[in-house]
Homo-oligomer: A and B are copies of this chain.
Amino acid sequence: MQFREADAFHEECGIFGVTGNRDAASLTYLGLYALQHRGQESAGIVTWDGETAFQHRAMGLANHVFDEDILRSLAGSVGIGHVRYSTTGQSQLMNAQPSLVRFRGGWLAAAHNGNLVDSANLRTRLESAGSIFRTTTDTETILHLVARAYARRPAGEEADKAELLAEALRGVQGAYSIVFMMDGCLVAARDPRGYRPLCFGRVKNGGWAVASESCGLDIVDARVEREVEPGEIVIFEPEGPRSHKMDAAGAPESFCIFEYIYFLRPDSVVRGVSVDTVRRELGRSLAREKPADADIVISVPDSSNAAAAGYAEESGIPLEFGLIRNHYIGRTFIHPKQSLRDYKVRIKYNPVADTLAGKRVVVVDDSIVRGTTSQKLMDMIRRAGAAEVHLRIASPPIRFPCFYGSDTPTRGELVASSKEVAEIAEFIGVDSLGYLSLDGLLASVPGSSESYCVACFDGSYPHESVIKEAATSAAGRAEG
Query: A-side interface residues toward B, CB under 8 Å?
Result: 2, 21-23, 26-27, 29-30, 33-34, 36-37, 40, 54-56, 61-64, 67-68, 71, 90-91, 100-104, 108, 123, 127-134, 143-144, 147-148, 150-152, 155, 204-206, 215, 218-221, 265-267, 269, 273-274, 276-277, 302, 305-306, 309, 313, 318-321, 324, 326-331, 333-343, 346-347, 350-355
Contact = CB atoms under 8 A, between A and B. Distances in A.
Contacts of A130: 103-104, 129, 131, 144, 147-148, 150-152
A131 B302 CA distance: 46
B276 A338 contact: no
A122 to B, nearest CB: 13
A109 to B, nearest CB: 11
Nearest to A93: B93
A221 B350 CA distance: 11
A128 B151 contact: yes
A68 B334 contact: yes
B26 A342 contact: no
A356 to B, nearest CB: 10
What number of copies of this chain does the assembly contain?
4
Contact of A328 (B33, B104, B302, B355): B33
A377 to B, nearest CB: 14
B34 A350 contact: yes
A100 B134 contact: yes
A328 B27 contact: no
A87 to B, nearest CB: 14
Contacts of A333: 67-68
Contacts of A306: 321
Contacts of A22: 337-338
Contacts of A147: 127, 130-132
A282 to B, nearest CB: 14
Nearest to A103: B132
B101 A219 contact: no
Contacts of A40: 328
B335 A68 contact: yes
16 contacts: A26-B335, A26-B337, A30-B343, A54-B91, A102-B134, A103-B127, A103-B131, A129-B130, A132-B143, A132-B147, A220-B340, A265-B350, A266-B321, A276-B321, A276-B324, A302-B327
A55 to B, nearest CB: 6
Given A147-B131, A205-B339, A63 B330 contact: yes
A218 B267 contact: no
Contacts of A91: 54-56
Nearest to A324: B267
Contacts of A151: 127-130
A350 B274 contact: no
A352 B134 contact: no
A106 to B, nearest CB: 10
